[in-house]
């Protein structure tokens, strides 16, 4: 799985971007889930997102013909968009 991770030191946020076509196996969802959880700990956030939630987000993104999913994690919380 290929993904981009960008840390903005000024805003102290992280942005994870993954192309939709990178989600092929359960392991791909697990990797993204684990990354979201690990980075969330830096901000004392409880992401409350499951692998099933990620599957639903990817399915919706595919319906909308989106090319990638972006997850921003920072002091204000977690925002997932496509």
Distance CA 31, CA 39 (A): 12
Domain hosting residue 73, numbered range = 4-81
pTM: 0.87
Q: How many folded domains does the chain comprise? A: 1
Interaxial angle between packed helices 26-41 and 51-63, expressed in degrees from 0 to 180 and rounded to the nearest 10 = 110
Distance CA 67, CA 32 (A): 16
Convert the pLDDT of each residue in 32-66 to its tens digit. Answer: 999 999 999 989 998 889 999 999 999 999 999 99
Distance CA 11, CA 59 (A): 30
Two structure tokens written together for 75: 């002091």
Two structure tokens written together for 52: 């099933």
Mean pLDDT across 64-77: 95
């Amino acid at each position: 799985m290929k993904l981009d991770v960008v840390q903005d030191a000024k805003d102290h946020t992280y942005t994870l971007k993954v192309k939709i076509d990178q989600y092929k196996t359960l392991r791909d969802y697990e990797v993204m889930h684990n990354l979201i959880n690990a980075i969330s700990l830096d901000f004392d956030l409880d992401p409350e997102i499951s692998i099933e939630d990620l599957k639903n987000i990817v399915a919706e993104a595919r319906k909308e013909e989106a090319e990638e999913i972006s997850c921003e994690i920072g002091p204000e919380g977690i925002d997932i968009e496509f």
